[in-house]
Structure formats: structure tokens, C-alpha cells
Structure 1
Amino acid sequence: MRRGAALTLLFASVLAAGAATGSWAEDGRRATGTLWDGPEPARDALVPAPSADVPAPAARELVSRSGDRWSAAYSAGEYEGVRQGLDGRYTGVGLWIVRGRGGRIAVSRVLPHSPADRAGIRAGDRLLRIDGARVTGEPVTDVVARLRSEAGVAPAAVGSAVSLDLVRRGTGRWREVLIRERLTVDPVTLAYDSGPAVIRVESFTRGSGARVREAVRSAAGTGIVLDLRGNPGGLVAEAVGAASAFLDDGVVATYDLRGRQHALYARPGGDTTTPLVVLVDGGTMSAAELLAGALQDRGRAVVVGGRTFGKGTVQLPRPMPDGSVAELTVGQYRTPSGRSPEGRGVEPDLQVTRPGEAMGEARTVLSGLGAGV
């Protein structure tokens, strides 16, 4: 770390979170583990990766000794996959998966225009085998590793094939052989819902803060809905950049690192007048919770939906001699009013128990704020 690694705040330790929620993405954001909530470590701070992925015994031993549910261990290949995920790109077939009752593995989402999408795979399809290996009952992390790697070991290359056995209710069982591609996930989209502008943020990958600011400037509606539902977090610098779209300077969050307090500030000049509703749910995590809590504490937005996940700790990556990387908890962050989301989450101003009604409630709130939607 003395060779120039920047402090990294890891507010989305999704290996641990996935064990709790059972929902993981094949794109690396919820698959291989953690999104970097902070500046990326200098590349020369990492031990050179071996030519093929290897287990991470040193990192896993250190994480095991820590006894911390948010700490995580990565092999060199997994760590590189996370780094690539910061750019919103990865090598895969475009699947998000979830583990249900009885250990059943099902498709929860399919990336548009991906190999899985072109093959006709749909949300709700059950995944039975990958390259002939049974996945029912297996840990979701192992299933994801098989989707993203060849033989579950070496990181998959563009153009490599993976065989999937699936079953669909009313259709039966079938097999698809998909060719992995270099895929890109658009982290920020702007749409309109009968009046308000809806800015959807999938995750805080590199450049997403600027994309949110651009979307706010482009929004031609009478109100804005910032949709953070299912957002697992990401680079905290990007979350702060997104907050800058709606704030004019001031504190976004504070965090302690080994007993020392630090603060993160919004940039001056954000839109402080357009009525704003933030949508959250139990899948809103870490850096996304930081953003929702900041806008709520600063009185800038009405938060609507369900209580957020509750991840508010800070992790620091530690390279190991065998090329693996351990990330260990070193502190917590807090919202401007001093609240810690850790274990509590962010409580919405308006609780919505039925997810399908959240957008309608957001429009009602905007109307009450004078947005005229």
C-alpha cells in the first residue's frame, strides 16, 4: 500500500450482501464481490496477477480470522473482474440470477441485446446446469463464477462458449450454447413517466455521476424521480457527483477511518429547486444509501419506497503475496445528520409496501410538491 495505493472506501461488499439477499448479477457488480466506493487503488499497488486465476488462500485466511461479515477475499482474476466492472463492462452472456427456495437458481434479469437475450432466455427461467455441472443447491457465488469463467477456474475470454441447461414453466427443458461477449451496462438512463423525468441509476460505475448531472440538465419535466431501487452501490466519488446534481455545495457524508473523521462535499451549482423524489427499496445499498440519506437529510428530496439494505461500513483492500486481495472493515460512514445506515438502512419518508405502486406514489408526492404532474 506504501507504493501509492489510494484509500478505497468499499461501501458495497456484495459477497456478504448476496448471502443475505440471494440476488446476484453476472456482470460482476453483484457477482465477484465488491464495487469500489472510493478512488481506485493505484495499479502498481497490486501484486502482479498470475496468467490463470488461482484460489485465494492467503486472503481467505485473513478474512476468516477477521470474523467480519463485510470482509471479502478475491483471487487475482476476481479482483481484476471487479476493476473492469467499474467501467460498466465485463465478459459474459448477460444474465442476472437469484437463488430461491430449495436452492433453485433462476434468471432474474436479462441484459438487452446480450447473447442470453438473443437466445430467448427470459426472467423466471430456471438454470439447471452450466457446462454439464448441476447448479441447484450450489452457492450463488459458485454459479456466477461458472458463468464468468471457463471450467470455473480461468477468467472467460471473449468468444468462449458456455452451455446452459434451463427449464421454463409450460415449455419444458432445453439447452442453449452461448458465446460470451464483451458487454456494457448503461448505468444511467433518462425516461419520462406521464410527466416527471425518471432518472434510473443502476450502479455507481465510473462516469455515472456526470451522467446523472447531464440527465438533470436535460430533464424537461416538472419534477424528477431518481430511481435507486436495486442499486448495489459503487464508486462513492460517483455517488457524491450525483448528489452534486441536486445540491449547492455542503456535506454529502462523513466517514471515520481508524478514528479520524473525514467529510465528502457536493460541488456548487446543483439544481436545488426542481421537485425531487428518490425511490429506494431493500436492494438499495451502500453508496446508493449514502446518496438517498444525504438528499433526505439535506431536505432536498422526499424518499419513497422500502427501507434500504443497511450497509454503511468502510473496507480497505490489502494485496497478499499470492496475488489475492483481502478487503477488511476499517470504519463507517454517516449521512449529514450523523445517521449510520449500517444495520438500519435509510427509512423512507413514505413507506410503500407494494413495489408496483412506488412510481405512482412518487408522482403523487411530486404533485403535492407543486410539480403539477
Structure 2
Amino acid sequence: MVITKRGLVLGATALASMAAVVTGAGIHLSQGQAFFKESPKELVDEVWQLIDREYVDGSFNETDWIEVRSEYLGRSYESQEDAYEAIREMLEQLEDPYTRFMDPQEFRNMQIDTSGELTGVGIQISQDEETEEIVVVAPIEQTPAFEAGVRPGDVITAIDGQSTEGMDLNQAVSLIRGPVNSQVTLTLRREDESIDFELTRAQIEIHPVRYSVKDGPEGTVGYIRLNQFSANAADEMREAIQALEERDVTGYVLDLRSNPGGLLYASIDIAEMWLESGTIVSTVDREGITDEEVAHNRALTDKPLVILVDGGSASASEILSGALQDNHRASLVGTKTFGKGLVQSVRGLADGSGVAVTIAKYLTPSGRDINKLGIEPDVVLELSDEQRDVLGEDLEKIGTAEDPQYVEALDVLGDVIRSGRQSISSAPEN
């Protein structure tokens, strides 16, 4: 199967209401592949070969990968389930929570297109590489989890009373997912407090972009909130910018707070809408080969831009905000981003299962490797717990005078607009 940029996944996590888009529209068995379904050992070797060819770390986390193959192919497998268990065990040696195996049901979940209707509670979760805890990266707006008050950084300690200790990401997602209108109880640790959230699973339709015209310090402002980099994010962003340009706004506030990421091509396409020229992102594979993406004079506006970010802004959000910050196209306001600088491809295997493989890391235009480090905003402003509660309880207050980070973004935008006007007025006449 050929992997293209448009199939690369930048989501920091697994979605408990859905999963990332895979490479290609579907996976089908050819006649030449059909024999794999009858041979669990061949499936184990198929995964080993894929990791051997493509994994980003050529040392395989200081593991003797050849010896690993000998060990696992030397075993006897009586069923596909035996093979699945062995594959998961094999991949654990890489100590990479983003490289993971999915059985056929989990892989079918992964094939749900991000632009469609989803079933779940609406949270995106990650597994901490050091503690192995299941952590909420971001709840998706207008979903049961968001409306109940689940926050980025909450640690899921139990699902319906079952402890998550020792549980992998796929297990957690499977337990959280379920039929519409069924109940699931998440026990979350928030600082030193343990909180039970009883959530009702729902059918969720996601439109990643919403926008409006607001009053600003120097005239009207275009406010755009991008929730995730899904398959339709670029189209909706283009429509938003074009509509706001027709309203002749003086500048923009782009809100990427709690945006957990998504597709690589979506972040690149959206960056080009704001950036006329310059590097957007570089991806580096294990051979050290760099693939650089640059802007191609397709910007839809050159008006001043401020971007809102926080600890839930991950992966594709960090590519976009890093590109615009490094190219001095935008100022960032808020708190440090999540810090996920790795790229995965998702491959279908011959028996209908699948595997996500970390194949590259990415760098911002200035060469920053932000993995585990995040991006520091130009203006740091933390929200208090009380302020978070106010915004979480009433979504309509996000991007208003009751949203302190948004208010700060407006102040910064006003300064940029005034500075630009002064530069024009002081320019010498020819």
C-alpha cells in the first residue's frame, strides 16, 4: 500500500468517540493475501516487517529487532487472538504509545471518517509515556464529555469501575465507546481530587470550524475556532476566511485551544491560507531524510493574526501555530501546547486488523523539535480553575469578554494593527 502525505495522522491520541483517518478509503484483501487469514504466524511477521521497514527509530529503542523476530516466529500460535496478543507484546518493546496494533473491530473504528457522525462521549485521550496513565488531551466541543466538564489533563483512573492501571490505549477506547444512549462512568483524577463523571454516549456530528464577526479595539475582528484537523477542516476554514474577508474585518483571532490535532495535510492546507511564503513544516524519517513543506503564494489574507493555544493544542495544532509563529505571521497567546512532534501512518493488515506506526518526527520552520516540549506562546496567560469552570459550563462565553485569554488576544491584535498603521504612515514617499 502506498502511503501519501494525505494519509498521515498527526492526532496526539486515540479518540474515545472515534479514531484517526487511515491511509486510503478502505482495506481489501487480494487473492494473494488471503492465505494470511489462515496463518497467525504470518500476521506476526507482517507486523514485524512493517516496523522493520518504517519505524522512525532505527535502533528500535535500543532493541535487537532481529532477535525479536526470531523469538516471536519461534512460537506456536493456535489462533488469531494468540497472534494479536503477541503483536501487542512485541510492539510494547518499542515503548511508543503511538505505535499500536488494532484488531479488526478496532481497525474498523479507525476507518470512520472524521467528517462523519460519531458515537461516543467525545474525548481524545493519550497514554503518558512515563507513567502509562490514560490522560485526556481534549474534550470535543458540544459533546457529552465537554458539557459535563471533562478537562485537558484529567487522568482517567477507572472506566465503569475498572481500573486503568496497566491498560493500553486501545482497551480504554473500547471500554469508553458504546451504543448511543448507553451510560459510561469515567473516574478522573484532577490534581489531588477524584471525580466521577457519568456520561451518556451520543451520536456526534462534528463541524470543525465555526466563525463570527466581533467588535475589536480597532474595528471588527474575525473570530475562528478550529476544533480538529479533520478531512473537511480545510474546506470549512477556507469558507470562514472568505466570508470574513467580505465583511472587511481588521484582523483575526484563530482559536486552537483544546484542538487535539488530526491530519497532516489539513494542517498544511490551512497554513497556506495564512502564509504567503516560507517553510510550513519539515518531517524527518529515520534515515535523516527531510521532507519540507512550503507555502505557495496561496494566502487568503494578510491581515494581522493572533492564535489562542493551550495544553490541549496538540500535533497538527502545533504544526500550524509553530509555522505561523516562526514565520512571524502570528502571535500566540495562552499557555504551552501539548508537545507531540511525531507522525504516524495507519496500515491495514491482511486479516482486517491494522497497525499505526510512528514513521517520522516533525520540526517547525526554525528547526524546533517540540516533542514532549510543546510551543511556548508569545504572551502567556493561565486561566484559573474558576475561569475554566465558567467557560466549561457555558460554551457561549468562549471567545467573549468573559474569556480572559480571548480578551488578551484582542489586546495583542490591537497592538499589531496599530503598529502596522504606524509603519505605513512613517514610510518614506517615493
- Same-fold status (TM-score > 0.5): yes
Structure 2, unpaired ranges of 5+? 38-79, 128-132, 188-195, 388-403, 420-430
Q: Deviations over 1:148-203 (max 9, x none)?
A: 23xxxxxx5xxx65245699xxxxx9989x6x664311111102443322111110
* Shift, 1:347, TM fit: 1.4
Equivalent position of 1:22 in the other structure? none
- Identify if the C-alpha distance between structure 1 residues 320 and 166 changes in structure 2 by more than 3 Å, giving closer, same or farther: closer
Instruction: Give secondary structure in 1 for the equivalent of 2:410.
Output: helix
8 Å contact kept, 1:223–1:366: yes
| Greater alpha carbon shift after TM alignment, 357-366 vs 80-89 | 80-89
* Cα deviation digits, residues 295-321 of structure 1 (max 9, x gap): 011111001111111111122334445
For 1:229, the equivalent position in structure 2 comes to: 257
Give the stretch that moved more between structures: 76-85 or 193-202. 76-85
Cα distance in 2 for residues equivalent to 1:64 and 1:128 = 21
What amino acid is the match of 1:189? R
| CA gap 1:59/1:190 in 2 versus in 1, 3 angstroms | farther
Q: Which amino acid aligns with 2:117?
A: R
Partner in structure 1 of residue 10 of structure 2: 11
RMSD between aligned residues = 4.1
Task: Determine if the alignment matches structure 1 residue 339 to structure 2 residue 372.
Answer: no
Matches for 1:133-282 after TM superposition, within 5 Å = 133-135=160-162, 141=169, 142=171, 144-149=173-178, 156=179, 162-164=182-184, 182-195=203-216, 196-219=221-244, 220=247, 221-257=249-285, 258-282=287-311
Q: Is the 8 A contact 2:306 2:409 kept in 1?
A: yes
> Contact 1:190 / 1:198 at 8 angstroms: preserved in 2?
yes
> Structure 1 pair 361/110, CA: closer, same or farther in 2 (3 Å)?
closer
Deviations 1:261-288 (A, max 9, x none): 2122334231452110011111111111
Alpha carbons 1:59, 1:325 under 8 Å: kept: no
Whole-angstrom distance in 1 between the partners of 2:135 and 2:366: 41
Supply the AA of the counterpart residue of 1:228: L
Contact 2:117–2:203 under 8 Å retained in 1: yes
Per-residue deviation, 1:369: 0.9
Match of 1:314 among 343, 348, 363: 343
**Aligned-residue offset at 1:82:** 2.6
Query: What is residue 123 of structure 1 aligned with on the other side?
Result: 149
Q: Distance in 1 between matches of 2:334 and 2:267?
A: 19
Cα offset for 1:337?
1.5
Q: Give SS of 2:112's match.
A: helix
Question: Matches of residues 12-91 of structure 1 in structure 2 within 5 Å?
Answer: 12-15=11-14, 26-28=16-18, 32=19, 35-36=20-21, 40-41=23-24, 43-44=26-27, 56-57=84-85, 59-91=87-119
Q: For 1:230 and 1:202, how far apart are their aligned partners in 2?
A: 7
Aligned residues of 2:158 and 2:164 also touching (Cα < 8 A) = no
Aligned match of 1:365: 412
Contact 1:9 1:314 survives alignment (8 Å): yes
How far, CA to CA, are the matches of 1:5 and 1:232 in structure 2? Answer: 23
In the TM superposition, what is the alpha-carbon distance from 1:97 to its structure 2 partner?
A: 8.8
Listed one character per residue, the Cα deviations across residues 105-139 of structure 1 (whole Å, up to 9, x for unaligned) are 99x96864x7x59xxx74369x9998xx5356675
Which has a greater percent of helix? 2
Would you say how many aligned residue pairs link Structure 1 and Structure 2?
327
Partner of 1:20: none
Moved more, 294-303 or 310-319: 310-319
Return the alpha-carbon distance in structure 2 between the equivalents of residues 98 and 70 of structure 1.
9
Distance verdict in 2 for CA 1:193–1:98, change over 3 Å = farther
Separation in structure 2 between the aligned mates of residue 128 and residue 334 of structure 1, nearest angstrom: 33
1:302 is matched with 331
AA aligned to 1:205 is S
Per the alignment, do residues 105 and 136 of structure 1 end up closer, same or farther by CA in structure 2, a change over 3 Å counting? farther
Task: For residue 6 of structure 1, report the CA deviation from its aligned partner.
Answer: 3.5
Q: Distance in 2 between matches of 1:212 and 1:174?
A: 33
Tell me the TM-score normalised to structure 2 length: 0.64
- Contact 1:224–1:277 (CA under 8 A) maintained in structure 2: yes
**Distance in 1 between the 2:197 and 2:378 partners?**
46
Q: Which ranges of structure 1 fall in alignment gaps of 5 or more residues?
A: 16-24, 150-155, 168-172
- Percent identity of the aligned residues? 29
Q: CA deviation at 1:222?
A: 1.8
CA drift of 1:144 comes to 4.1
- Tell me if structure 2 keeps the 8 A contact 1:89–1:185: yes
TM-score, length of structure 1 as denominator length = 0.72
- The 1-side partners of 2:125 and 2:362 are apart by 30
Decide whether aligned partners of structure 1 residues 358 and 317 sit closer, same or farther in structure 2, where only a CA change above 3 A counts. Answer: same
Matched with 1:330 is 359
What is the CA-CA distance between 1:359 and the residue it aligns to? Answer: 0.9
Per-residue deviation, 1:95: 6.8
